[in-house]
Structure formats: structure tokens, C-alpha cells
Amino acid sequence: MRFAVAIRFFVCIVCFCLTAAVTGPAAWAQEAESARVISISGEIDGSQAALVQRGISRAEENGDKAIVVRINTQGGRVDSALRIRDLLRETSIPTIALVTSRAWSAGALIAIACRHIVMAPGSSIGAAEPIPATEKNIAALKSEFSTTAADNGHNPRIAEAMVDKKDGLPGYADAGEILALTDVQARELNLSEGTADTAEEALHLFSLDDATVYYEDRNWKDETLGMLQNEYVRMLFVGLILAAVLIEIKTAGIGVGLVTACLLGGVMLISGDGTLADDLKVIGAFIGGLVLIALELVTPGIGIFGVAGILLLFGSLFWMLGATVQALYILAGGIVIAVILFYILGRHLPKSRLFAKVALTTRSTKEKGYTSQEDKSKYLFQRGTTITILRPAGTIRIGKERVDAVSSGGFIDRDVAVRVIKVEGARVVVEPVPPGP
């Protein structure tokens, strides 16, 4: 009996140990906390937006408990800042802005796009007046700041004063002065929730001391995407695409030009911020436009394929560029670049070996024995006889040849001796031969 009890007790101990060995690490892994730090420094541009997008994606895949956006910038491109704002707004992971030195202009928008703001001693936030400070620009940016602040529980009035200096903020900025707050002032206005020098200190304020911290910094991929999203680079790409299509049309063939346009369009597309569904639509329109242009080249004279192809091409480029007013400016600049490139290449390509393979460069010149009409200069000063009446045009015979001719003045009857006094291209002018002595 005692032996049976001992056996049961031993079996229970073994089962408990096995269960602990199997489930223990899994349970620990599920309870372990992690956080991610995304560092934004320098000028805000497309590379910063690419960094934030990558960092948020990794945080969501890893199940991080918080994202710390470490900010030190004097501003930059508003469109890139708006893209970062949208990314921070869309994530379900709590976001903490840590202003380490400055969050000015576009940096201020990114800071208030986070749910929590923490500032390092001596740091500042604000000074977001747009350049140029037109009424339209101020109104648009002010609306963005106000809405972003309200969505994240920050005081919209403070955010508006950072953009519009008309009213200021009593006690912190007089009317006519743009609002910029120190870390102490931001704490007084409850814009900042605490003071921290490092990301770990910021996480401590939200009881995430034991979280494993992962850091995200810009890499070469982010820099490349940022460069490709630059408006001037995109303008150049549009110009190259249109120039390639124009050259393809000029060479009247389907080849290098259309392939080049496809490759450049693909690079532009992958560097954009569109969703997969939107990208597929744009790809379809872009390739469809090139295909229709190709059909127009092999079926000249129809016209409908060419018009439809050009409309699809420009429409797809417009959507690639974001379908905004700025996209229209980029398209306009691209057209100018395309015309210049086409003018330059159009003059030099006929002399190149590559162009010689796809274009007809042989000319039928007079030096090579080609003429557009029969050379009748051999008849000059020769004599003949009229076959028909010249009134003033008719036909004469010179030797054994019939020659169309015109009289130099009046009527010349049939079977009259004449001589050629002038040859102008195909025109042979004759006059009666005066009677001899």
C-alpha cells in the first residue's frame, strides 16, 4: 500500500516537472514586456517617414508595449511630417514623444501626434509658423495641429498658438509672437507629462522599467527611400519617363524606351506610401497606358490608342505622386525636363550606333545619285521640232526623245523648228529658231 502511494507521488512530481519545463518558458515569453525607440533627428524628410513606418511595423509584429519617438529636430518637410503623424495616429501601440533637445516646426507636429509627451531638461517645443507664412498656409497647418492635438488629448489652443501668432497664448506668448515652450513651461501647461533624459527614464514614468528596449535608427534603405521621395528627384524621374516614351515614339518601335519607362515607374511606385490595393490600380493604369501607346505605334493612324494611353500614363503618374496640387507642379516640371531631354537626344541619337539600329538614317541625296525628278539640263541649247502646238505648253522632239516643253512667249505651230533657251527643273522653255540667212 505504501509502495503504491509512493509510486503515485513520484509520478505526480515527474508530471509537474515536465509541465513546468514545457509551459514555463512560454508563459515567461508571453509576460515579457518590450518597447521600441525610434530616433528622429536632423531635417524631417522622406527618410524619417520611412524609418517611422519600419519601426512601427516591427513594433506591431513584436507586440511591443510602447513606442518612444525620440525627437531632436528644427523642422523640415511638412508633407513628411504629416506622413509620420498619420503613421503614429494609426498604430494601436501607445506612443511617447521624448523631446531631447528641440521639437520645432514639423518636429512639434510629430510630438503632439504622440499620446504622451516627455521632455528633457532644457528642451523646447513649438515655433511651427509655416514658410511662407501666407494666410492659406497658416490656416491649413493650424487646422492640422489643432486636430492632431485634440485626437491625442493635448490642448488644441496650445497647438494652434505654435502655428498662428495672431492671438498668442496669454502668459507665454504675446499677440504677434509665435509660441515656443521650454520643458518647464510645457509641464506647467500639462502638455508635457514629465522630465526624462533617456528613453529608459521615459519608460520608467509609465511603469515600463523592465521592458526590453529595441532601437531603430535610419539605415541606407531609409535614406534611399527618402531621396526617392524628394520632389525634385521625382520630377526628374517623371521627366525621364516621359522622355523615354517620346523617344520610343520618335523611333517608331517597341523596345528600350518603353522598358526604361516601366523600370523608372516601378522605382517611383515602390518609393511611395500607397497601400497594396492602390499600388495595383496604379500599376495597371501605368502599364496599360504604355501598352496603348505601343499599340498606337504598330497601328499608326488610328489615334484612339495613343490618346487613351497618354491619359492613362499621366493619370497614373499623378496618383503615384500623391494626387495633390504638388503632384501637378511635379508633373509640370517633369514635362519641361522631358522636352529638354528629348530635344538634346533627338539631335544626337541619330548619330549613335544604338539609334542607327532602330531608325532609318540612310538618305537619298543627289551626291549618291538620287533625284526627285528627271534632270533635263542636258537639253539646254539643243534644237528640236514641235510635235504638237505649244499654247504655250506642248511636246517637242529632240533627237529621238519626246520632251514636254513650253514656249517662251507666243503661240508656236506644229512642225516648227525650236531651240531650248532655258531649263528650270522639269520645265523646258523653247523659242522658234530664227530663219537662217
Rounded-to-5 percentages of helix, strand, coil across the chain = 50, 20, 30
Cβ neighbours for 247, distance < 8 A, ≥ 6 positions apart: 257, 342, 345, 346, 349
> Which amino acid is present at 426?
A
- The secondary structure of residue 173, as a DSSP letter, is B
- pLDDT reading at 112 higher than 50: yes
Report the alpha-carbon angle 106-109-114, nearest 5: 135
pLDDT in tens, 192-204: 999 999 999 999 9
Residue 348: pLDDT band (50, 70, 90) is low
CA 374 to chain centre: 57
Question: Residue written as cell 517611383?
Answer: 268
Q: Residue 7: helix, strand or coil by DSSP?
A: helix
Whether the pTM exceeds 0.75: the reply is no
Mean pLDDT along residues 320-329: 78
What stretch of H or E contains 199? helix 199-204
78-90 vs 135-151: helix crossing angle, rounded to 10: 20
Across the chain, mean pLDDT equals: 80
CA 289 to chain centre: 17
pLDDT in tens, 38-77: 999 988 888 888 899 999 999 999 999 999 999 999 988 8
